[in-house]
Structure 1
Amino acid sequence: MGTTFAYIIEIIGTLAFAISGIRLASAKKFDWFGAYVVGLVTAIGGGTVRDVLLNLPIFWMQDSIYLIVTALSLLFVIVFGKYVIKLNNTFFIFDTIGLALFVVVGIQKSIATGYPFWVAIIMGTITGAFGSVIRDILINEEPLVFRKDIYALACAFGGIAYWLCYRTGMNAIATQSIAAATVIAIRLVSAKYHLSLPVLKSEDEYITPVKNESDIENR
Structure 2
Amino acid sequence: MIYWLDLIGTFVFAISGALAAWDKKMYHDIFGVSFTAFVTSIGGGTMRDLILGTRPVWVNDSRYVIAIVLGVGVTILFRARFLRYRRSIFLFDTLGIGFYTVIGLQKALAFGVHPWAAVILGMISAIFGGVIRDMMVNEIPLIFSRQIYATACLAGAALYIGLRHLGVDQDWNMVASIILVITIRLTALRKGWSLPYLEKQ
TM-score above 0.5, yes or no:
yes
Q: TM-score, normalised by structure 2?
A: 0.96
Map 1:111-190 onto structure 2 (within 5 A): 111-190=109-188
One-letter code aligned to 1:32: I
**Correspondence for 1:63:** 61
Q: Return 5+ residue gaps in structure 1 as ranges.
A: 207-219
Q: Which residue in the other structure is 2:47 paired with? A: 49
Which amino acid in structure 2 is aligned with residue 156 of structure 1? L
CA RMSD of aligned residues (A): 0.9
Q: Which residue of 1 aligns with 2:3?
A: 7
**Aligned equivalent of 2:102, options 104, 110, 119:** 104
- Separation in 2, partners of 1:185, 1:76: 25
Q: Distance in 1 between matches of 2:43 and 2:199?
A: 31
Distance 1:43 1:136 in 2: 13
Higher relative contact order (CA 8 A, sep 6+): 2
2:18 to 18, 22, 31: 22
Structure 2 residue runs of 5 or longer lacking an equivalent are none
1:211 corresponds to which residue? none
- Once the two structures are TM-superposed, the CA of residue 98 in structure 1 deviates from its matched residue by 0.4
Post-superposition offset of 1:201 = 2.5
Looking at structure 2, the residues matched to 72 and 190 of structure 1 have their Cα atoms a distance apart, in angstroms, of: 30
User: What letter corresponds to residue 170 of structure 1 in structure 2?
Assistant: V
Q: In structure 1, what residue type is equivalent to 2:151?
A: L
Stretch deviating more after TM superposition (148-157 or 72-81): 72-81
Secondary structure of the residue aligned to 1:29 is coil
Question: Runs ≥4 in structure 1, deviation > 6 angstroms?
Answer: none
Cα displacement (A) at 1:81: 1.4
Shift of 1:199: 2.4
1:35 aligns with 2:25: no
Identity, % of aligned positions:
39
Distance in 2 (CA, whole Å) between partners of 1:66 and 1:87 is: 27
Structure 1 residue 92 displacement after superposition? 1.3
Distance 1:199 1:134 in 2: 24
| Higher-Rg member (1/2) | 1
1:34 deviation in Å?
Answer: 0.4
Deviations 1:177-215 (A, max 9, x none): 11101101110121121111122223xxx4xxxxxxxxx
The aligned residue for residue 76 of structure 2 is 78
1:128: how far off? 0.2
Matched, 1:90 2:88: yes
User: How many Å separate the matches in 1 of 2:151 and 2:198?
Assistant: 16
Offset of 1:69 from its aligned partner?
Answer: 1.1
SS at 2:86's partner residue? coil
1:77-131 per-position Cα deviation (integer Å, ceiling 9, x unaligned)? 1111121121111111111000000001101001111111001100000000111
With structure 1 as the length reference, what TM-score do the two structures score? 0.88
Structure 2 distance, partners of 1:66, 1:186, is 27
How far does the alpha carbon of each residue in 1:42-65 deviate from its partner, in whole angstroms, 9 at most, with x for none?
110000000000111111111121
